[in-house]
Structure 1
C-alpha cells in the first residue's frame, strides 16, 4: 500500500520528530511479493580492501567438504568464514541513497524503495592460516622415486588446477608452499619427491665431486646441470638444486641444514629411534664433503632423548604431526616434557598466523618455566 505524506508525518510525530529534522525526500519501503529466501541468498561482510579486490574483477573461492570448516580465499589470502547474528533487521535493496547524497529539494517528496530480502544473519571473513599440510598428504600418494623407477608412461600426480580445488588455501599460498617443499612437476603433474630419491641425488653428485676431487664451491650450476642430466629430468634437478644448494651468481654451496635434515630423514625411519652416539657418527660420515652436522639441524625432524639409557635420537618430523594445536603439542610433550623455544619452534611455526606467533601460541596453549636462566615450555595440564 502506498503511503501519503500525511501518513509519513504522523509517523514522525510518533517518533517525536519534526519535518525540519529530516531531508525533504523520504524513502517508503515496499516489500516485493516474492521475497528472497535467506537460506539461499547469503550476505557477506567484506573489508574495504576485499571490496576493491572484487570490484577489480577478481573472485573469491569457497572451499570445504563435509569434514572441513568452510574457508573462503582470494588469490593471495585465506579467510575463515563464520556466520554472525545481529539484533537489527537488515534489508536487501538494489540501491539506496545515503542521507548526505539526497538532494535538498524545495518541497517534501516520497520515493518508493523496493525491499528484496530480510536478514538477521550474515557471514564474516576473518584472515586465517591456510591448511597446507594436506598439500603434502595428497602429493604423498604420488611419490616420485626417479625416472628409472617409473613403470607406466602416462603422467601420474595432480595438476595445479586439481590442487587448487582440493587444498584449503589461496593460489599464491599453494604456489609458495610448493616452492618450499620437496615437490616437482613431472610430465605436467605435481609429485612429492621421495626421501630415498633425494638422498640418492645428493649422494650421486657428491660421488662425482669426490671422484673429480672437487668441492661444490669449485663448480658452477651449468656444470652440475650437465652432470645430473644423466640422473633425472631438468625440472627435478632444478628443484633439487633449490632445495639443497645456495646459488650466489655462478657459485654454489651446500645448504648444510637442509642436507643434514634430508640425511636424518633417510637414516631414521626404519628404526624410529637410534642410539645417539652411533647416529651422530653415521650421520656425519654420510655427509657430502664440506657439510658439518649440528644437533640443532635435527629440530623439526627428530629429537634427542637424553633421559633414556642409552640416549636416543627419535624420528619425529613436523610434517607427520596433526595440524590441530592441542593435538600437536600433546604429541610433542609426550615425547619430551620440556622444550626450549628454539627446539620447539620448527614444530609450532607452521601453525602461526597473523594474530599469533610462536611465543603467543605457546603462551596460550602451554606452560612456561625458567630453569638456570633458560625458558622452557611444557604441558599445561
Structure 2
C-alpha cells in the first residue's frame, strides 16, 4: 500500500472511529439540544400554569429548559413578565360602549383560537356564539384535561426510564440528572407570578357583555355575558403586569442551576442515549402542551352556551345577535363595516339607537319616580303621626 493510500485509510478510519464514538455516547448532541426550544417551554408553562389551588405545573423536563431559563431571567430583570403575549391576534369589544381593546392575554387568545363550531366549515358569513359566564365555577381555575395529565404521565415515564441504567449498569447518574432536571422544571413552573399574571383581572360586579373576535374579515365572534360573576375580560385583555420581587431572585438561581446541569450533561461518559430518550420524551410533551387544542373549561373559562347565530351575510348575523343581547351588533358594526353601511342598514342602526334611547329615558324616569316615592314616604308618615 502506497504512503498516500495509507494516509487516506488512516483518515477514514479516524472518521469512522469518531462517528462510532458519537453514536455510542452522544453527549455532544445533548449539549446542543439543551440550548434550543426555550419558546416552546414558555408556551407549555403558559398553557398549564394555574391549573388548581396549588402551583403544580406538569411541564416535563426537556432540553429546552436550559434555553428558557436564560430568556426568563432576561425578562424578569427587564420587562418583568413571565407570560408570553397572545399568539392569536384578536380584539375585545365592550358591547355597552363599543370600546375596542387589542387583546394581549394568552388565555383569551387561546380561547378564540381553540373555539370551534360546525358553522366554521362554511367560510361565508359570520357566526356569533353567545355564552353566559358560569356562576357555579370561578373563572381562572381550569379543569384538568388530557394535556394536564399527559405532563404527569410523561414525568413518571421519564423517571422510570432513568432507572434502567441503574438496573442494567449500576449507573445512577442518569437517574440523578433526570430527577434534578424534573425538580428544576417543576420549580420554574410553580413561581406564583405565573398564576397572578395569567389571571390579572378584577371581578365582575354588574352585567357585562364582551365580544371577542379577530376583527374585520373574521368569520366568528364569541360573546360572553357576565352577570355579576367571573372576571373582567377587558382587564384580562390588557395583560396587566403582576411583578413579584421574588421572581427575579428565583429565575437567577434557576438559571445558575441549569448551567450546572448543562456542565453535568457535557461530562457524561456512559448511557447518554438514555438521557437523550428522556429529554426527547419531554420535548414531545412540551410541544403537545404548547400547541394542543383545549376546551374553554380547560383554559379556565367556564361558559354555558346560550345561542349561536350564523348567517351568510355578516350584517344579518349581527342583526339577529342584537335581538339576543343588546349592543352586540351596534358595537361590532364599526369593526366589520369600517367603510360604512348601505342606506337600509343605516336606517336600521338609527332606528335601533332611537329605540334604546327611548327605553333608557323611560327606565330613568321610572327609577327617578321610585326614588322620589321613597323620599316622600317618611314625610307622609310624619304628617300622619302629627295629625294623630
* Greater relative contact order (CA < 8 Å, ≥ 6 in sequence): 2
TM-score, scaled relative to structure 1: 0.19
TM-score, scaled relative to structure 2: 0.19
